Amino acid sequence: MRILVTGATGTLGGALVPALLKAGHEVRALSRTKRDGSGNVEWMWGDLISGNGVKEAVRGVDAIAHLATSGRRGRGAVDVPGTRTLLILARQAGAPHVLLTSMVGADRAAYGHLRHKLEAERLVAESGLDWTILRATTFHQWLRRRLGDFAALPALPVDRSLPWQPVHTGEVATRVAALLSAGPEHREIEFGGPQVIGTEELVTTWLRASGLRRLRVPVRYPGRLYAAQRAGDLTTDALPKGGITWHDYLLPPPPVLSDDFASEHTASPTSPATQPEQDPDLRVYGGDEGYERPTRS
């Protein structure tokens, strides 16, 4: 299949493009930055807000993985009007299957950014096109970046009442690729990480992995969205789930070596092989682009 990926340069897009190529699809990738076609990816310039370049991007594709978002601070500009533009032009271009990525809780707690995700879901479901919606929980990578924003502070505000269900984008990408290969579902599917953990565990693991010590200040985040999260509306029991835990993402177990191998390859304490890498995506999984599910023995 020829598949257009919007949001191909984003956190999930960086994992989805190689997953689709691996599954044997042709990939066309949309970005607001002009790039040369690299390898078997056909990069196309386009902007979902102005609509420029979108008509060309949807032409001749069998499916669209619609990942692009203006994010939590973007007032839904890409998620709602951008999605509307994409759907209109996709219909004119020959009605491909549209898979929209949304967030777990969009239907139960439509506040803030989730309100825009729910509206985008409605547009897709009522578009007249074949569709699938995949609602994912918070990505490991997104959470690690948000926690990193606090790294310079001497103390961390910790709301211990919030449950989290982080999931790895590599696993979300694998699920999206499988859904695209299988064809339209005409329903919303939820996909979450393997465990629901509290903020205390989330923060403790991150501090340990980052080699930081910080005072934790108990707080209670205000607002309807946090209240909904507290009530469990942003987590899911749906199966299948991802398999990579927050702990394994940040603090992966060392590889198990056979005695023979270990004695032949023992590295000195200062060898690069014994130095932890800074980026867990690269350290654990070889980066999103070359994502491979780690094997354990």
Residues that bind ligand NAP (CB under 6 A): 6-13, 30-33, 47-49, 67-71, 78, 82, 101, 103, 117, 136, 138-139, 142
Q: Which of 156, 173 has the CB closer to ligand NAP?
A: 173
Cα–Cα dist 172/249, whole Å: 14
Considering the complex, what minimum distance in angstroms separates the CB of residue 209 from ligand NAP?
Answer: 18
Secondary structure class of 232 (helix, strand, coil): coil
How many CA atoms lie within 13 Å of 17's alpha carbon, on the beta-carbon side?
25
Cα–Cα dist 280/157, whole Å: 24
Q: How far lies 9's CA from each of 5, 35, 121, 137, 296, in Å? A: 9, 11, 22, 20, 30
Considering the complex, what minimum distance in angstroms separates the CB of residue 19 from ligand NAP?
Answer: 13
Q: Which of 142, 157 has the CB closer to ligand NAP?
A: 142
Task: Report the candidate in 100, 233, 109 with the shortest Cα–Cα distance to residue 164.
Answer: 233
Q: Which of 70, 174 has the CB closer to ligand NAP?
A: 70
Q: Which of 16, 158 has the CB closer to ligand NAP?
A: 16
Considering the complex, what minimum distance in angstroms separates the CB of residue 276 from ligand NAP?
Answer: 24
Cα–Cα dist 50/138, whole Å: 28
Q: Which of 48, 209 has the CB closer to ligand NAP?
A: 48
Contact 43, 104 (CB under 8 A): no
Considering the complex, what minimum distance in angstroms separates the CB of residue 168 from ligand NAP?
Answer: 11
Q: Which long-range contacts (CB under 8 A, 24 or more apart) does 77-82 make?
A: 77/49, 78/48, 78/49, 79/113, 79/116, 79/117, 79/119, 79/120, 80/116, 80/119, 80/120, 80/123, 81/49, 82/48, 82/49
Provide the residue type at 269 as one letter: P
Q: Which of 168, 247 has the CB closer to ligand NAP?
A: 168
Q: Which residue is nearest to ligand NAP (CB)?
A: 10
Cα–Cα dist 134/188, whole Å: 6
Q: Which of 69, 229 has the CB closer to ligand NAP?
A: 69
Considering the complex, what minimum distance in angstroms separates the CB of residue 151 from ligand NAP?
Answer: 19
Considering the complex, what minimum distance in angstroms separates the CB of residue 286 from ligand NAP?
Answer: 19
Considering the complex, what minimum distance in angstroms separates the CB of residue 155 from ligand NAP?
Answer: 25
